[in-house]
């Protein structure tokens, strides 16, 4: 369990820096490419975007490894610490001020993760009933596809792409658990099928999020994606019977509360201008640059009619 937690945190770090490298390139891409695979082909010619993609590729096997060592109910909440890393990067790299708003979001994620790690089921079923597994896969997968079709057909409905991205990412994270279980059990054929499905839905999730970031500020995209994506794989695992409570069903209340607190904390940090700026949001960056600097201690205020040096 301890090693799984460390590997999950490493995957979260890789994802965070991938966002930092990729988001700025996405915002500079033409809107006419939105929702089309050609957008990904365009971005593939940009160095920073490729570096971020390489980090995402590194994060994926780390997540798979973490899922072989710990339950998805523990690994998934730890992946939400990506928002904490982005906040730290904003503070150190961009000298953004971390106020009460951001502190509350960070504290909510930390407390929520602690509650979930304590309350999470410790028993994994490696051969769950196929019908139970199919139910969450079909419901969430169809929801992601319908959201993509609606967002592609009606460009002004960007929210459909945002929700679809969260659904598709949740689908991928749940399938990553199935992939990890089949790899550890030596079921290579099923593992190969899950691998192909993960790549396809991962591309769908990435395309929807990338298109949404072209059309809307990151502070309106990230909270919704996080609120959908962060808790849903855990719910899917419990629904499918992949994780079972065993002798501790009384902890389900603490697990539900922890997931809700994590989702709230992710939404709070998603709306933070500091996190948005480090994620490549040009509007947040412009607002930060326009914000007047506080006068130095002891500095005299400018006289009426006198312009400050700034």
pLDDT in tens, 203-223: 899 888 878 877 776 666 767
pLDDT at residue 244 is higher than 80: no
Specify the range with the lowest mean pLDDT, choosing from 46-60, 109-123, 130-144: 109-123
Between CA 217 and CA 96 the distance in angstroms is: 18
What's the chain's average pLDDT? 78
Between CA 160 and CA 266 the distance in angstroms is: 19
What is the band of 297 on the pLDDT scale with cuts at 50, 70, 90?
very low
The pTM for the full model equals 0.72
Task: Compute the CA torsion angle 223, 280, 17, 41 (nearest 10 deg).
Answer: 100
What is the band of 194 on the pLDDT scale with cuts at 50, 70, 90?
very high
Helix (H, G, I), strand (E, B) or coil at 244: strand
pLDDT at residue 247 is higher than 70: no
Between CA 276 and CA 286 the distance in angstroms is: 11
The region, left, alpha or beta by phi > 0 then psi within -120 to 50, assigned to residue 281 is beta
Between CA 159 and CA 157 the distance in angstroms is: 5
- Cα angle: 124, vertex 15, 257; to 5 degrees: 50
Structure tokens at 221: 């995209």
pLDDT tens for 71-117 read 888 888 888 777 777 777 767 765 666 677 778 888 888 888 888 87
Place of tokens 């089949």: 182
Kindly state the helix (H) or strand (E) to which residue 60 belongs, with its residue range.
helix 47-69
Specify the range with the lowest mean pLDDT, choosing from 40-49, 91-100, 239-248: 91-100
Q: Which residues, 6+ apart, have CB-to-CB distance to 54 below 8 Å?
A: none
Of 75, 121, 76, nearest to 255 by C-alpha is: 121
The region, left, alpha or beta by phi > 0 then psi within -120 to 50, assigned to residue 296 is beta
Q: Across the chain, where does the E strand assignment appear?
A: 123-124, 243-244
Share of residues in the chain with pLDDT > 90 (%): 19
Per-residue pLDDT, 219? 60
DSSP string, 218-232: HHHHHHHHHHHHTTH
Q: What is the number of alpha carbons within 13 Å of residue 64 lying toward its C-beta?
A: 19
- Are 171 and 137 contacting, i.e. CB atoms less than 8 angstroms apart? yes
């Amino acid at each position: 369990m301890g090693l799984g937690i460390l590997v999950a945190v490493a995957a979260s770090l890789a994802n965070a820096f991938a966002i930092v490298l990729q988001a700025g390139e996405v915002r500079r891409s033409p809107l006419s490419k939105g929702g089309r695979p050609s957008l990904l082909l365009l971005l593939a010619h940009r160095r920073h975007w490729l570096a971020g993609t390489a980090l995402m590729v590194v994060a994926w096997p780390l997540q798979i490894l973490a899922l072989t060592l710990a339950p998805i109910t523990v690994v998934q909440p730890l992946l939400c610490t990506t928002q904490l890393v982005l906040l730290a990067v904003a503070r150190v790299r961009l000298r953004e001020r971390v106020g009460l708003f951001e502190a509350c979001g960070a504290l909510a994620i930390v407390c929520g993760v602690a509650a979930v790690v304590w309350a999470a089921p410790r028993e994994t079923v490696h051969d769950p009933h196929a019908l139970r597994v199919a139910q969450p896969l079909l419901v969430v997968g169809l929801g992601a596809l319908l959201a993509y079709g609606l967002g592609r057909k009606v460009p002004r409905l960007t929210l459909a792409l945002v929700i679809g991205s969260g659904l598709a990412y949740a689908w991928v994270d749940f399938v990553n658990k199935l992939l990890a279980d089949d790899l550890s059990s030596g079921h290579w054929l099923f593992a190969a099928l899950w691998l192909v499905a993960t790549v396809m839905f991962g591309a769908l999730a990435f395309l929807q999020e990338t298109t949404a970031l072209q059309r809307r500020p990151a502070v309106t995209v990230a909270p919704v994606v996080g609120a959908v994506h962060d808790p849903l794989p855990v719910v899917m695992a419990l629904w499918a019977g992949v994780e079972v409570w065993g002798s501790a069903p009384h902890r389900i209340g603490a697990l539900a509360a922890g997931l809700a607190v994590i989702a709230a904390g992710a939404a709070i940090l998603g709306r933070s201008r500091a996190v948005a700026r480090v994620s490549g949001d040009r509007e947040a960056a412009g607002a930060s640059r326009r914000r007047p600097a506080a006068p130095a201690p002891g500095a005299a205020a400018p006289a009426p009619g006198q312009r400050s040096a700034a």
